[in-house]
Structure 1
Amino acid sequence: MSGLAGTFVPRPDFGSRHQTVIPAPVEAVWAAWQEMERAGEEGWGPLVRVLFAVRRQVGRLKGGGGEAPSSRKDLRDSFLLLAEDPPRETVRGIVGQWWSMGTADGRPDVTGPREFLAFDEPGYAKATFSMRFATDATTGGTRVVTETRVLCLDETARRAMGRYWRLVEPFSGLVRRMMLRRLRKRAVA
């Protein structure tokens, strides 16, 4: 069940899903998510900020040093808004070569949904990050599902992404679970 994200990455090579049920109405949980997005990394909590900072530092060192990337970059800076259906779903996307660490910010020529769909350059991958919000039939609360989907554009990218995914997926999963816990806290406050 991929929702709108399936429009952009219908058959992912790599992916993960995390979900929770929050004891609050969909509209309240959606509003809490919007607040978290506006707050950037500050809204995600201290451990998530540390993990992002470590990744930026590794990329900076691998890229030969130079100026440190801004610590204020967040999901909205790196991932393009591809689709949104308030208060049910939001999908962000990025095209990149994350396994090379120095090129994590995505392709600057991919500026919207049309360019994301059309992009097909070998050696790259496309990824979506989606959040879905629906009333949970059992509890009456909100079921929140976060899903990451990655499509590699050739075999070279698939092999490189496979190595990278084995390394980062546990941390990515940790970030998603922490994000969902923080969203719960904010939505029921």
Structure 2
Amino acid sequence: MDHYVDITLHPDPEFAAAQLMSALLSKLHRGLHDTRRDDIGISFPEVERCARGLGSHLRLHGSAQALASLLAQNWLTGMRDHVQLSEPSSVPTGVQYRHVSRVQVDSNPERLRRRLIKRHDLTEEQARQRIPDDAAKHCNLPFASLRSHGSGQAFRLFIRHGPLLDTPHPGRFGSYGLSPTATVPWF
């Protein structure tokens, strides 16, 4: 994690920044998945300045070789007119670190009831009694709206930026560039 690349969204009168960031994350996910990369993490440097949302700045973290390999792929096809890409640069000295991870929230009571019926052989009425409509959990974390490549279902990818740490924690990143154990430099 000694290098980074900044990707900044251009303002667009037709698309909100949140919509463009969601599209960018979807493209990045495909790129990381297709190249089987687990050594590139992400962060959102503007997340603390945004009232809601992830902002318009995505930072990729990794080794110079890992970033160069990812950037050589075509994963940004269709997004190049909407983003500005920095050159890979060395991480400044004296930075802090943080975990940037996915938080999964069960927020759809209907889906939870279907799952309960299937797993515990209950009737729809029994499931409705166990999981009422107001049982949905609410999450105030910033998120990207994505669509599953496998099922086609729309979902929200909630992202948590953990507390600042003085030392890095090594580890692997998933195909969204997120990890509950590995840290990325924060600056």
TM-score between both structures, scaled by the size of structure 1: 0.26
Greater Cα radius of gyration, structure 1 or 2: 2
TM-score between both structures, scaled by the size of structure 2: 0.26
Q: Which structure carries more helix by proportion?
A: 1
